[in-house]
């Protein structure tokens, strides 16, 4: 015999009434982007799966910095920072500009700033 708590758990997982809400399903289906965009989005968010890259993005959210600055700030080698910056540039999250011999890095645009801010706000909100 199944206990009451087991039954309520099953009810959360399965529909009690086998029916499809056709209108809602059609609207969602029509709004879904193509698989290529969904794949690209998944790849984009994978970049945020590395805490070093997130630390770099957060630092660049505060100020434009060069590799030496980031290296000192994050206590990492310049080559390790450069490697991560290359990934961030390829993901179109970071841009660079040269001033003499120094290359400065910054967040690519306000969309990237928004991602950092919304992610931070989401994680800090009370549960």
User: What are the tens digits of pLDDT across the range 14-60?
Assistant: 767 777 888 999 999 999 999 999 999 999 999 999 999 999 999 99
Residue 1 lies in a domain: no
Total count of domains within the chain: 1
Q: Does residue 10 sit within a domain?
A: no
Whether residue 7 has pLDDT greater than 70? no
pTM of this prediction?
Answer: 0.80
Can you give the CATH number for the domain in which 95 is found?
1.10.10.10
- Domain residues for the domain of 35 are 18-124
In a domain, 37, yes or no: yes
Residue 17: the pLDDT is 73
User: Residue 13: pLDDT band by 50, 70, 90 thresholds?
Assistant: low
At residue 10 the predicted structure's pLDDT band, cuts being 50, 70 and 90, is low
Angle at which helix 51-62 crosses helix 67-74, to 10 degrees, equals 120
Which region holds residue 89: left if phi is over 0, alpha if psi is between -120 and 50, else beta?
alpha
């Amino acid at each position: 015999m199944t206990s009451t708590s087991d039954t309520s758990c099953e009810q959360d997982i399965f529909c009690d009434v086998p029916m499809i809400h056709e209108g809602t399903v059609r609207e969602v289906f029509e709004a879904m982007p193509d698989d290529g965009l969904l794949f690209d989005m998944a790849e984009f968010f994978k970049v945020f799966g590395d805490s070093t890259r997130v630390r770099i993005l957060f630092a660049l959210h505060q100020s434009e910095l060069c590799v030496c600055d980031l290296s000192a700030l994050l206590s990492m080698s310049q080559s390790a920072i450069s490697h991560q910056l290359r990934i961030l540039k390829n993901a179109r999250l970071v841009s660079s500009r040269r001033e003499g011999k120094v290359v400065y890095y910054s967040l690519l645009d306000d969309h990237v700033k928004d991602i950092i801010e919304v992610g931070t706000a989401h994680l800090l909100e009370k549960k």
